[in-house]
């Protein structure tokens, strides 16, 4: 992989109250890098600082400490937004506009000419499947529909970097599948995607690399495949074996000094990793793991 699209160094965010007293340390000395063309997943339990991190990337929040480079620019530089698409955690849109008007409005903010605005609008509305509701005001939309128009809005400028805060929340399984396909398609087009999510299956399906945050600290960072590869194990998946065949396989394994630990279907192992990380972090606060390393069970 080539150049980095996002570089974060020692990023810290402390929320303060009105009097300037520290209230919450939402992000604690976070460093990471996102490379061009990858899908990067930000994981963590509720309140672990995912949204805060994304907002700092976009210049919505000001870091207490640390540095951010995004598309080679500072976070507060508005011109970086030309090439960024952002889907907020909840779709913060104008509820009195309809889908068409919404996309028209954001298109104008990109200074796009009218013909291009119309072309994109039609394409995106079709892509997120809202053709039937394009003239209805957003306040009548269901949660999933709002998510969809939010997603369309994030892609109006054909961005190079797409930042999605829980893109699949509130979506039905079909919608989730579509979003995942869309994210993969974006990568195929050479775009970079940063997403946060709780839905581990989604992350496991699409992300190239992930970071797991806990209490504002980076706990685990690495390639999804590598992270999930259990070093001391080999997993065999075969077609259905009858009990006698299974016994024979076991005998062979015994001969090689190995044991059959389980014979079930593969588990959703990201879930396992995630839970392990959270448990470990609770048990041993302050412990961090080297890139690629994972907490032991």
Partner 1 sequence: MNFLSEITTWLVVVLALGAVAGLTGIVTSWLMAGTRGVKMFAGVLSRGIKDLVLLSPRRIFAITSLTVRESVRRKALWIGAVFLLLFMFAGWFIGDAKESTPAKPYISFVMTTTRWMLLPVAVLLSCWGLPADIRDRSLHTVVTKPVRRSEVVLGRIAGYVAVMTTLLLGVSLVGFLWVQRVVPERAQRQLVSRVPIGGSGRTVKSTSTEELEEIRRNVGDQLDIRQFIEGATTERAIFVFDEIHEDLFPGSDDIRLEYRFEAFRSYKGDLNTEIEFAAEVVNEKTKARAAIGVYPVNEFSTEFAHVLNDGKEENLILLSRKLTYIPDGADAPIEADLFKDFIVDGQLKVEIACLDSQQYLGANSSDLFIRLPDRPFASGFWKSIFAMWLALVLTVTIGTTSSCFLKGPVSTLATTGLLVLGTFLKTGLLSRLNDFFLQGQTLGGGPVEAFFRTIWGMNESSPMDASPTTAAIQFIDGVVFNLLNVFQHLIPSLTVFDGTPYIANGFDVPLSTCILPSLFITIGFFIPCYIIGYFALQLRELEAK
Closer of 46 and 239 to partner 1 (Cβ): 46
The C-alpha angle with vertex 224 and arms to 24 and 168, in degrees rounded to 5, equals 65
Instruction: Spell out the alpha helix ranges (H) of the chain.
Output: 50-57, 99-109, 114-127, 143-154, 173-188, 200-206, 224-228, 243-255, 269-283
* 109 interacts with, out of Mg ion, partner 1, ligand ATP, none, CB within 5 to 8 A per kind: partner 1
Residues in contact with 146: Cβ distance below 8 Å, sequence separation at least 6, in sequence order? 91, 93, 138, 170
Q: 18 to each of 37, 63, 179, 216, how far by Cα in Å? A: 41, 17, 39, 22
Dihedral sign (CA 121, 124, 128, 132): positive
Residue nearest to Mg ion (CB): 51
* 106 interacts with, out of ligand ATP, Mg ion, partner 1, none, CB within 5 to 8 A per kind: partner 1
How many Cβ atoms from other residues are within 10 Å of residue 204's Cβ?
Answer: 19
**40 makes contact with partner 1 (CB under 8 A):** no
Residues in contact with 3: Cβ distance below 8 Å, sequence separation at least 6, in sequence order? 35, 36
Q: How many residues bind partner 1 (CB under 8 A)?
A: 31
Sheet holding 65-70, edge to edge: 22-35, 4-16, 65-70
CB of 100 to ligand ATP, least distance (A): 30
**24 makes contact with ligand ATP (CB under 6 A):** yes
* 26 interacts with, out of partner 1, ligand ATP, Mg ion, none, CB within 5 to 8 A per kind: ligand ATP
Build a one-symbol-per-residue string for 72-91: x at contacts with Mg ion by CB under 5 A, - elsewhere: -----------------x--
Binds ligand ATP by CB under 6 A, chosen from 6, 11, 39, 48: 48
The one segment of 42-50, 71-79, 140-148, 277-285 that binds partner 1 by CB under 8 A: 71-79
Applying CB under 8 A, the residues found at the interface with partner 1 are 18, 55, 58-62, 76, 78-79, 81-82, 84, 86, 88, 90-94, 96-97, 101, 105-106, 108-111, 153, 157
């Amino acid at each position: 992989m080539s150049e980095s699209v996002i570089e974060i160094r020692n990023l810290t965010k402390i929320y303060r109250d009105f009097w300037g007293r520290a209230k919450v340390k939402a992000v604690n000395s976070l460093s990471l890098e996102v490379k061009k063309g990858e899908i990067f997943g930000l994981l963590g339990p509720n309140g672990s600082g995912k949204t805060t991190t994304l907002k700092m990337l976009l210049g919505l929040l000001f870091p207490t400490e640390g540095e951010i480079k995004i598309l080679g620019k500072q976070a507060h530089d508005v011109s970086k937004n030309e090439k960024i698409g952002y889907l907020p955690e909840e779709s913060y849109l104008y509820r009195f506009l309809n889908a068409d008007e919404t996309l028209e409005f954001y298109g104008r903010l990109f200074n796009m000419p009218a013909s291009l605005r119309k072309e994109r609008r039609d394409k995106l509305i079709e892509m997120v499947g809202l053709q039937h509701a394009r003239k209805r005001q957003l306040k009548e939309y269901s949660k999933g529909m709002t998510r969809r128009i939010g997603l369309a809005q994030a892609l109006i400028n054909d961005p190079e970097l797409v930042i999605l805060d829980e893109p699949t929340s509130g979506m039905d399984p079909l919608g989730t599948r579509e979003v995942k396909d869309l994210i993969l398609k974006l990568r195929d087009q050479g775009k970079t995607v940063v997403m946060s999510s709780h839905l581990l299956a989604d992350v496991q399906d699409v992300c190239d690399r992930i970071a797991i945050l806990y209490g504002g600290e980076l706990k685990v960072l690495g390639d999804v495949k590598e992270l999930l590869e259990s070093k001391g194990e080999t997993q065999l998946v075969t077609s259905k074996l009858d009990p006698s065949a299974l016994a024979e396989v076991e005998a062979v394994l015994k001969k090689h000094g190995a044991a059959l630990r389980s014979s079930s279907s593969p588990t959703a192992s990201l879930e396992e990793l995630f839970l392990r990380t959270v448990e470990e972090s609770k048990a041993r606060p302050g412990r961090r793991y080297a890139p690629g390393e994972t907490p032991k069970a």
